[in-house]
A and B are shown apart, each in its own frame.
Chain A
């Protein structure tokens, strides 16, 4: 069975500090990977997607970047956090790009102070 693990579970960071969030998918080779962001009480907005190692495409620019250093790993980062980065970050995966299910991790709660 496939599992998706996100780390850390929660972070409290200062404005202007760097950030790195991670996601690992086990049990599935070459998954499509996605990062979503959810403002408190809001809907989900896709940030990035990756179809293969080393390739990441941006969907929405929020002064964040993403990388896929390994087939099973997806990293979200920034060098300088803004207050507006606060929220819930969810990593997701799917077996393909067309009509397939998308599965989410448990998310990382980020509070920028």
Chain B
């Protein structure tokens, strides 16, 4: 089945810097990709989703890149601010037996002033 790896596990950046998180997946048939943000003790907030026919998507200081050839998905937090401090998860949509999402292992992002 689909496997998703995410790196780095931890990321510390200064306010105004960029933070990049990368996920790799194994199933070339995967067609839907999402990024979620989880603040301490909270549920998951959907940040952005892309279909496999999209290479790049930008919204509100976030950039998602999809490289289908390398099966790599990335999230770039441009000009990070302290409010971006959270755990970020990538997720790919899977269809085996009705499974909804397969998640990466998460990246803890800390943004210092």
Contact = CB atoms under 8 A, between A and B. Distances in A.
Interface in A45-92: 45-46, 49, 51, 57, 59, 90, 92
Q: What are the nearest 4 A-B pairs in CB distance? A: A104-B44, A106-B43, A99-B32, A44-B103
Question: Do most interface residues of chain A lie in helix, strand or loop, or is the interface mixed?
Answer: strand
Nearest to A93: B100
A92 B99 CA distance: 12
Residue among B43, B93, B106 with the highest chain A CB neighbour number at 10 A: B43
Interface string B66-101: 000000000000000000000001010101011111
Given A43-B106, A97-B95, A105 B46 contact: no
Contact of B98 (A42, A59, A92, A104): A59
Given A44-B89, A107-B43, A99 B51 contact: yes
Contact of B46 (A6, A99, A101, A106): A101
Contacts of B45: 104
A32 B97 CA distance: 13
Contacts, number: 65
Interface residues of A, number: 27
Contacts of B104: 43
Contacts of A100: 32
B101 A102 contact: yes
Contact of B97 (A57, A99, A102): A57
